Amino acid sequence: MSGYLSAQLSILCLNIIIAYAIFLPAATGQLNLGAGGFAIIGGYVGGYLNSSFDGLGWAMSVSIPVAALITAIIAFALSFPILRTRGVYMVLATFAFAEVVAGIVLNLEVVGGAAGFPVDGHADLKILAPITIAVIVFCWFLLSTRFGLAMRSVHDDENVATLFGINVRWIRVAAFTLGGLLGGLYGALYGHQYNYIEVQNWNVLFNIYVLLYVLLGGTQTPFGPLVGALFFTVVPELLRALGESLNSELIADGRFALFGILIVLMMVFRPEGIVTRTLLERLSGRKTQEAVT
Per-residue pLDDT of the chain (293 residues; tens, 9 = 90+): 678 889 999 999 999 999 999 999 999 988 889 999 999 999 999 999 998 776 688 999 999 999 999 999 999 999 999 988 888 899 999 999 999 999 999 998 888 888 889 998 899 999 999 999 999 999 999 999 999 999 989 988 888 888 888 999 999 999 999 999 999 999 999 999 999 999 989 999 999 999 999 999 988 888 999 999 999 999 888 888 887 777 777 776 777 788 888 888 888 888 888 888 787 778 777 654 444 44
Task: Report the greatest alpha carbon distance in the chain.
Answer: 67
Structure confidence at residue 134 (pLDDT): 97
Residue-wise over 161-197: b if at least 16 C-beta within 10 A, else e? beeeebebeebbbbbbbbbbbbbbbbbbbbbbbbeeb
Q: Which amino acid is at 196?
A: Y
Distance CA 48, CA 42 (A): 10
CA angle 207, 90, 80 (to 5 degrees): 110
What span, in angstroms and rounded, lies between the C-alpha atoms of 50 and 111? Answer: 12
Q: Three-class SS of residue 196?
A: strand
Q: Are strands 196-197 and 117-118 parallel, antiparallel or unpaired?
A: antiparallel
> What's the CA gap between 97 and 15, in Å, rounded?
21
Q: Do residues 88 and 212 touch, judged by C-beta distance below 8 A?
A: no
CA distances from 81 to 23, 78, 89, 90, 183 (A): 20, 6, 12, 10, 19
Host H or E run for residue 61: helix 60-82
Q: What is the pLDDT of residue 55?
A: 66
Distance of CA 209 to the CA centre of its chain: 9
* Main-chain phi, psi angles of 118, to 5 degrees: -80, 150
Question: Residue 136: how many CB atoms within 10 A of its CB?
Answer: 17
Helix (H) or strand (E) holding 197: strand 196-197
Q: What is the pLDDT of residue 290?
A: 47
pLDDT the model gives residue 273: 86
| pLDDT for the residue numbered 147 | 93
